[in-house]
Amino acid sequence: MERDYQPSVIESIVQAAWDADGVFRRTEDPNKPKFYCLCMFPYPSGKLHMGHVRNYTIGDVISRYLTMNGYNVLQPMGWDAFGMPAENAAIKNQVPPAAWTYDNIAHMRGQLKQLGFGYDWDRELATCTPEYYRWEQWLFTRMIERGLAYRKKARVNWDPVDQTVLANEQVIDGRGWRSGALVEQREIDQWFIRITDYADQLLEDLETVDWPDQVKTMQRNWIGRSQGVQFSFERPGHGDRLEVYTTRPDTIMGITYVAVAPSHPIAVSAAQQQPALAAFLAECTQMKVAEADLAQAPKRGMATGESVIHPLTGEEIPIWVANFVLMDYGSGAVMAVPAHDQRDWEFATQYGLPIKAVIAPQEADPSYDLTTAAWTEKTGITINSGVFDGLTFEQAFAAVAARLTELGIGQITTNYRLRDWGIGRQRYWGCPIPVLHTDEGIKPVRDQDLPVVLPEDVVVDGQGSPLVRRRDFVDTIDPDTQRPAQRETDTFDTFMESSWYYARFASAFSQDAMLDQNANYWLPVDLYIGGIEHAILHLLYARFFHKVLRDLGLVSSDEPFKKLLTQGMVLKDGSKMSKSKGNTVDPQALIDQYGADTVRLFTMFAAPPEQSLEWSDDGVAGAHRFLKRVYSLVCDAVERDDATAPWTPDQLSEDARELYRKLHQTIAKVSDDIGRRYHFNTAIAAVMELVNQMQRFEPTKPADRAMYREAIEQVVLLLSPITPHLSTYLWQALGQTRPLHTVAWPTVDADALTRDVLTLVVQVNGKLRARLEVAATASEAEILAQARSEPQVQKFLEGMTEMKAIVVPQKLVNFVVKPA
């Protein structure tokens, strides 16, 4: 073996052998427990960045560890290949998006292989291929059949820079999530998917998954389920009624006005006779988005001059238009109770509308002052409410709801913040929506005519979608009537592709169905690893798709991802790596300089996965240094040719026994850190400690030498999930013939961990005063006696009265004293 550690030589040899032997190819095996470990697949942007390296190393370490522990581990990889960057690159470089994308994939695949990730490449998929998206098109036509997909004219978020429609989730503070441009409102015919039909399940099944609370909370808030009452007001002289939704029916007697959204039909029709109101409405549609990002947009409104009748008092109540009322939540109109809703209070105060208290606190409450703010607690008692007086929130809610139901004008309803998912995009580089526009209306494309293939030989010039201009794509024949028809030119939101790729990996070879029975062998994903930035969008959509797939009989589980691990960001100089800040680190340069094992080791060592990772070039050099030390440790052992003769622990010298104990402590620690805690940094630190101790150890006796040799082998195994190339090479150098990837993970010799002598800590009043060597078998009385006799302890017991003594077995003794 070479005296010098040469990572590039070792790594390419080892990788070639993995490739040749198909080491990571996986099939279903009923005799082993399965484990499906999935990392979020990348967008093929051109080259890997540090975030990818970190994400995929975490998954690879866990996968390799579990494989050594007898699991049948599936770890696939693919490409989230549709999306706008390809179109932008096409405009810039005059390259078709497809060619650009496939080139990037080829390069990044090479980088992933260089990093030594153990993927089953036979299952690789790219979402931009017809083999993949044909099943998405198939699923979409099933959704149309089931009424889950529908078309409606809707006000949509229009991104003027990207020239596309955005989902609500893609609008951040009134700006496009990718372009950052101010979003405008437009009316467009759109495809929607009824994710709201699954809102309850999406909410309730969160209880069943092992996800970070933070992510679950974000999803719960996003779904935003609320219980309330929907009821309607009579509109005198109009013959129709005004619907409102409230979560506070207990305050119904405090209504002093009703507010409608600026785009509400009542506001629009009232504006026809009132130029001032019309001007205000026009202003609102412009302001809506522009001011959405302001923390506290001022409340503005205008009276319509119309009114409704209070359903319980018969009073006449004015209708106002208010800019803070949302058209697409509830019915776009609210009952206003300024005494008990802060928004209503601010509005009423501004426009001089009456404030009527109908809830009083049960006990004196200094925050109850309706001249300064609304009182919105649900802990009060109803007042000024006639027959409803003296009730708690729950009682009043039930009584008012019952009364409105009895009158036939209302009922208890559940509302959601979550909206249906608009999935159409006016972009070229995406999956074609498989429908035809015929003279009989819109029709889904028949199964036998799928896939609708996206033409790849196009010129993208930024002037709208090239698909619209492709007559050979657009013009077709309605198979039912044989008359001309046009294909839809909108494509799917790319979140559609990423919503089911995890399932396709598990059924990658199925030719004539979206998924086959193997999907149920692998699913659900046991561990899903990725960035927290996908906490809402991607993870919610994928959960929704999974339930749809389940209802179509394609999968048998309720949830796609059993456990979720969200990794932190990679930082440089305290902030996120970005091109604009110029603080990026290119993983390729590091692989070239130090090798993949060093890069893997450092990214795992620098911080635990959920935390952000501060990049340090010096730290990488340090990680490399450690691997060189391990390398030369093995080198020395190979040169010395220590015998592997049989030996027993009682033949070991004192020092050797201590090292042997350290070895098994380390095995226990590393197993727990990798297998349970996913804290690789401390696992690595433990191996470093062991290696440090081994370097100081000079084996002389035959048994010591044999034990030392074994310890070296175990170190190589303990590091192997993290530095698989080096470990594979060293394993062979140590004369092992069995392939490393089939070797079982080291087991702990429990006897090695027991000690005859323990070190206890002695405290006086909680302060550390001495250390004590005691026999493991010593009784509490013996320990106390020994502790009291320590000079350092006596010094502090001198002249004191001992109140009590606490003995914590294996750990410490604490004397509680006070001055005599």
Q: Which stretch binds RNA (CB under 7 A): 100-108, 424-432, 735-743, 755-763?
A: 755-763
Contacts of 213 (CB under 8 A, 6+ apart): none
Pick one of 182, 309, 532, 638: the residue that binds RNA (CB under 7 A).
Answer: 532
Task: Give min distance, CB of 129 to RNA, in A.
Answer: 32
Determine the size of the site formed for RNA (CB under 7 A): 88
Regarding 292 and contact with RNA (CB under 7 A), the answer is: yes
Of residues 101-160, those binding RNA (CB under 7 A): none
Q: Residues 571, 613: contact at Cβ < 8 Å? A: yes
Q: Which stretch binds RNA (CB under 7 A): 428-436, 465-473, 634-642, 668-676?
A: 668-676
As a whole number of Å, the CA-based R_g of the chain is 34
d(CA 552, CA 548): 6
Q: Residues 442, 255: contact at Cβ < 8 Å? A: no
For 445, the token pair is: 């494309």
d(CA 79, CA 102): 10
Nearer to RNA, 490 or 673 (CB): 673
Task: Give min distance, CB of 493 to RNA, in A.
Answer: 17
Question: How many C-beta atoms lie closer than 10 Å to residue 437's C-beta?
Answer: 16
Q: Is the dihedral of CA 716, 722, 727, 728 positive or negative?
A: positive
Pick one of 13, 326, 477, 775: the residue that binds RNA (CB under 7 A).
Answer: 326
d(CA 284, CA 260): 12
Of residues 152-191, those binding RNA (CB under 7 A): 172-173
CA nearest 108: which of 97, 124, 95, 96? 124
Task: Give min distance, CB of 299 to RNA, in A.
Answer: 6
Of residues 761-790, those binding RNA (CB under 7 A): 761, 763, 765-769, 771
Q: Which stretch binds RNA (CB under 7 A): 390-398, 449-457, 529-537, 640-648?
A: 529-537
Q: Residues 770, 793: contact at Cβ < 8 Å? A: yes
CA nearest 154: which of 141, 167, 163, 142? 167
Regarding 622 and contact with RNA (CB under 7 A), the answer is: yes
Regarding 457 and contact with RNA (CB under 7 A), the answer is: no
- Map residue 319 onto helix, strand or coil: strand
Task: Give min distance, CB of 16 to RNA, in A.
Answer: 28
Regarding 310 and contact with RNA (CB under 7 A), the answer is: no
What is the contact mask toward RNA in residues 335 to 374, using x (rule: CB under 7 A)? Answer: x-----x-x-------------------------------
φ, ψ of residue 333 to 5 degrees: the values are: -145, 145
Task: Give min distance, CB of 226 to RNA, in A.
Answer: 4
Regarding 681 and contact with RNA (CB under 7 A), the answer is: yes
Q: Which DSSP string corresponds to 718-752? A: HHTTTSHHHHHHHHHHTT--S-GGGSPPP---HHH
Pick one of 32, 92, 628, 755: the residue that binds RNA (CB under 7 A).
Answer: 628
Of residues 696-715, those binding RNA (CB under 7 A): 696
- Cα separation values, 624 from 104, 599, 617, Å: 29, 8, 11
Q: Which amino acid is at 335?
A: M
Pick one of 208, 286, 372, 692: the residue that binds RNA (CB under 7 A).
Answer: 692
Nearer to RNA, 761 or 800 (CB): 761
Of residues 227-266, those binding RNA (CB under 7 A): 228, 245-248, 261
Distance of CA 206 to the CA centre of its chain: 13
Nearer to RNA, 265 or 619 (CB): 619
Regarding 573 and contact with RNA (CB under 7 A), the answer is: no
Q: Residues 115, 596: contact at Cβ < 8 Å? A: yes
Nearer to RNA, 108 or 730 (CB): 730
Question: How many C-beta atoms lie closer than 10 Å to residue 654's C-beta?
Answer: 7
- Which DSSP helix (H) or strand (E) runs through 89? helix 84-93
Pick one of 3, 471, 804, 818: the residue that binds RNA (CB under 7 A).
Answer: 804
Q: Which stretch binds RNA (CB under 7 A): 89-97, 119-127, 422-430, 528-536?
A: 528-536
Nearer to RNA, 121 or 416 (CB): 416
Q: Residues 13, 74: contact at Cβ < 8 Å? A: no
Contacts of 685 (CB under 8 A, 6+ apart): 605
Pick one of 616, 651, 653, 732: the residue that binds RNA (CB under 7 A).
Answer: 616
Check whether the bond before 524 is cis (ω within 30° of 0).
Answer: yes
Q: Residues 568, 611: contact at Cβ < 8 Å? A: yes
Pick one of 94, 695, 747, 779: the residue that binds RNA (CB under 7 A).
Answer: 695
Nearer to RNA, 209 or 467 (CB): 209
Pick one of 606, 694, 707, 772: the residue that binds RNA (CB under 7 A).
Answer: 606
Pick one of 373, 387, 753, 808: the residue that binds RNA (CB under 7 A).
Answer: 808
Whose tokens are 């260089």? That residue is 114
Regarding 206 and contact with RNA (CB under 7 A), the answer is: no
CA nearest 224: which of 198, 203, 248? 203
Regarding 415 and contact with RNA (CB under 7 A), the answer is: yes
Q: Which stretch binds RNA (CB under 7 A): 518-526, 592-600, 602-610, 777-785?
A: 602-610
Pick one of 85, 318, 455, 619: the residue that binds RNA (CB under 7 A).
Answer: 619
Task: Give min distance, CB of 319 to RNA, in A.
Answer: 14
Q: Is the dihedral of CA 18, 21, 27, 33 positive or negative?
A: negative
Task: Give min distance, CB of 496 to RNA, in A.
Answer: 20
